[in-house]
């Protein structure tokens, strides 16, 4: 398995080793790989001749310095996990300087309002950082398809919007959330939870499953009140937001139309660790 640290070496290798019709799958990650990432990589291996995985903790998408400092960095273990897949896979693990060339700044994007909802309200500048790095990586790797998990559903829709607007020739593929047996959505941040916190955190998914049952029976306001009560009564969490939103606009709704697709979105704190999850409602 090959690991490249510079754009130049990666591009040179790709130019010399992928004939014109070779399909390239791309899985961008920030490392601390878990089974959710591996399932994206496995899907890319099935769909494409060659798979490129980037491992890069992107500073411009962190709006909180301590979150950036504490983000797990486990390159050796990540490489080990990828090597067990034993397929035609390439890792791109650049330094911050290699990507930002001394100017660690995000571009400003207009994602037609998708960036102002939910995560956008609570993490100012986050999606400009995501847009900046994903665009740069897509320009470097020039993949046929790129794979993103649905846990960050807002990010997935924003990447789709960025690709539509920039006309980058890549197909964006969303993949279902990979969960622990308890239901907790897999996330690199889960490594910061203790075993007992992990057990308690399955409450998030249990609540979302209950929301799915209530959807269409209770109205949106009743469901939101119920969720707020659940979290107010649970000492382990602080609820940041719970929204029921239109899947395509990501705008919160108060009434439901049969022709539209809806999702519930949640962000909670367990001590200082922020966890998000989402579930499709219809």
Task: Report how many helices (DSSP H) and strands (DSSP E) the chain contains, helices first.
Answer: 10, 9
Helix (H, G, I), strand (E, B) or coil at 230: helix
Chain residues that interact with ligand PAF, rule: CB under 6 A: 28-30, 58, 61, 130, 133-134, 152, 155
Are the CB atoms for 215 and 243 separated by under 8 Å? no
Are the CB atoms for 266 and 154 separated by under 8 Å? no
Round to whole Å and give the CA distance between 207 and 201: 10
> Among 144, 168, 172, which residue's Cα sits nearest to residue 157?
172
**Smallest distance, ligand PAF to C-beta of residue 173, A:** 13
Sheet containing strand 50-55, edge to edge, reads 2-4, 89-92, 50-55, 24-29, 145-149, 171-175
Q: Which is nearer to ligand PAF, 30 or 220 (CB)?
A: 30
Has 37 been annotated as catalytic? yes
Are the CB atoms for 119 and 240 separated by under 8 Å? no
Helix (H) or strand (E) holding 43: helix 35-47
Q: Which is nearer to ligand PAF, 26 or 231 (CB)?
A: 26
Q: What is the DSSP string of 164-223?
A: HHHT-S-EEEEEPPPB-TTSPBP-GGGGGS-HHHHHHHHHHHHHHHHHHHHBTTB-HHHH
Place of tokens 């797990």: 72
Selecting among 13, 34, 37, 122, the annotated active-site residue is 37
**Smallest distance, ligand PAF to C-beta of residue 234, A:** 27
Catalytic residues: 37
């Amino acid at each position: 398995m090959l690991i490249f640290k510079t754009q130049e070496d990666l591009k040179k290798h790709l130019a010399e080793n992928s004939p014109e019709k070779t399909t390239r799958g791309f899985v961008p990650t920030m490392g601390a790989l878990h089974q959710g990432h591996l399932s994206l990589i496995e899907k890319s291996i099935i769909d494409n001749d060659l798979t490129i995985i980037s491992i890069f903790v992107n500073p411009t998408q962190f709006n909180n310095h301590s979150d950036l400092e504490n983000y797990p960095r486990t390159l050796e273990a990540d490489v080990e996990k990828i090597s067990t897949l034993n397929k035609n896979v390439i890792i791109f693990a650049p330094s911050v300087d290699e990507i930002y060339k001394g100017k660690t700044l995000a571009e400003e994007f207009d994602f037609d309002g998708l960036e102002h909802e939910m995560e956008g309200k609570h993490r100012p500048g986050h999606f400009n950082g995501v847009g900046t790095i994903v665009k740069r990586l897509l320009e470097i790797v020039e993949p046929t398809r790129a794979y993103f998990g649905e846990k960050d559903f807002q990010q997935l829709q924003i990447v789709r919007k960025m690709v539509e607007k920039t006309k980058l020739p890549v197909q964006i593929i969303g993949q279902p959330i990979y969960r622990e047996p308890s239901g907790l959505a897999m996330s690199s941040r889960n490594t910061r939870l203790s075993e007992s916190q992990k057990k308690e955190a399955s409450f998030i998914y249990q609540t979302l499953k209950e929301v799915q049952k209530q959807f269409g029976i209770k109205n949106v306001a009743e469901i939101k009140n119920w969720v707020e009560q659940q979290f107010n009564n649970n000492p382990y969490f602080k609820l940041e937001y719970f929204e029921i939103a239109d899947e395509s606009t990501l705008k919160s709704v108060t009434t439901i139309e049969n022709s539209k697709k809806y999702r519930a979105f949640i962000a909670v704190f367990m001590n200082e660790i922020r966890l998000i999850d989402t579930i499709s409602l219809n």
